[in-house]
Amino acid sequence: MSLPEELRQIAITIAREAGAVVSRRSTEHLHPDTKSTATDVVTEVDRDTEKLIRQRLADLRPGDGMLGEEGTDDPGSTGVRWIVDPLDGTVNYLYGIGAYSVSIAAELDGQVVAGAVYDAATGVGYDGVRGGGSYRNGVRLACSDVTDLGHALLGTGFGYDAQVRADQGALIANVLPRVRDIRRIGSAALDMCWVAGGVLDAYFERGTHEWDRAAGLLIAEEAGARFAVIPENGRDLVVLAPPAIFDELFALVTPQN
């Protein structure tokens, strides 16, 4: 088995294990703290799940690095670094809205080569390996074949910083009249997997982090989608779409370029 394939299997296994714990704990009374701003919440489940994933990775692949949303930042010594969002969609989780996921990607010498996203509320698993396709519960994924941006259903998301939100609102005012409609699901990793499966036609978001997108972008790319990540003062803009509408969407969401 190739190393990327081995990493994919590990990502699937641990994302499922962690997702099962997350969904089991969804009825607990949580005590959220805030992080970067008053709207940016974190729960004990986010932190405990990151700890669980770190431990499982250390057991299976000692020496690998890991970057996690809840503070883990270890470069490791093997050339493999895991990029983990233990609970993507924390606000949904807190409010009992069934769209939250565990996202685990593996980078080999700086390139993401494998990833898994586990939709913890529904038990649906997405995964992919570079050059080997991406899958939803084992069934090969293909992004939408839409050719007209005006007929595209887009996903997007909002950050937690008030100024970023104001910019995001202005951007949406420009995009909304030109597309079929926009959805705000609340888990960036799921948005990207939904693009991979053609549930959403495309996705854009300003203000994403590596852990939000590492696994989801690989899964969508392996399903035939194109993407760009544009660094914007540490608040990276992601544009993800089928090739036929990518350039038009990119131009629409980057009017300054």
Per DSSP (E only), the strands in 3-89 are 33-34, 41-42, 65-68, 73-74, 80-88
Q: What would the x/- binding string for ligand IPD be over residues 89 to 108, using CB under 6 A?
A: xx------------------
How far, in Å, CA of 8 to CA of 158, rounded? 29
How far, in Å, CA of 192 to CA of 118, rounded? 12
Beta carbon of residue 157, minimum distance to ligand IPD (angstroms, whole number): 2
Binding residue for ligand IPD (CB under 6 A) from 50, 64, 70, 88? 88
Beta carbon of residue 188, minimum distance to ligand IPD (angstroms, whole number): 3
Instruction: Give 223-236 as a DSSP string.
Output: TT-EEEEE-STT-E
Binding residue for ligand IPD (CB under 6 A) from 50, 64, 70, 85? 85
Between 159 and 242, name the residue whose CB sits nearer to ligand IPD.
159
Q: Which stretch binds ligand IPD (CB under 6 A): 18-26, 88-96, 143-151, 220-228?
A: 88-96
Between 88 and 127, name the residue whose CB sits nearer to ligand IPD.
88
Between 85 and 119, name the residue whose CB sits nearer to ligand IPD.
85
Applying CB under 6 A, does 236 fall inside the site for ligand IPD? no
Between 197 and 207, name the residue whose CB sits nearer to ligand IPD.
207
Binding residue for ligand IPD (CB under 6 A) from 19, 65, 159, 242? 159
How far, in Å, CA of 173 to CA of 169, rounded? 6
Contact between residue 188 and residue 200 where contact means Cβ atoms under 8 Å apart: no
Contact between residue 130 and residue 218 where contact means Cβ atoms under 8 Å apart: yes
Type and span of the H or E element at 191:
helix 188-196
Range 174-213, binding ligand IPD (CB under 6 A) = 186-188, 205, 207-208, 212
Contact between residue 155 and residue 191 where contact means Cβ atoms under 8 Å apart: yes
Contact between residue 211 and residue 103 where contact means Cβ atoms under 8 Å apart: yes
Contact positions vs ligand IPD (CB under 6 A): 69, 85, 88-90, 157-159, 186-188, 205, 207-208, 212
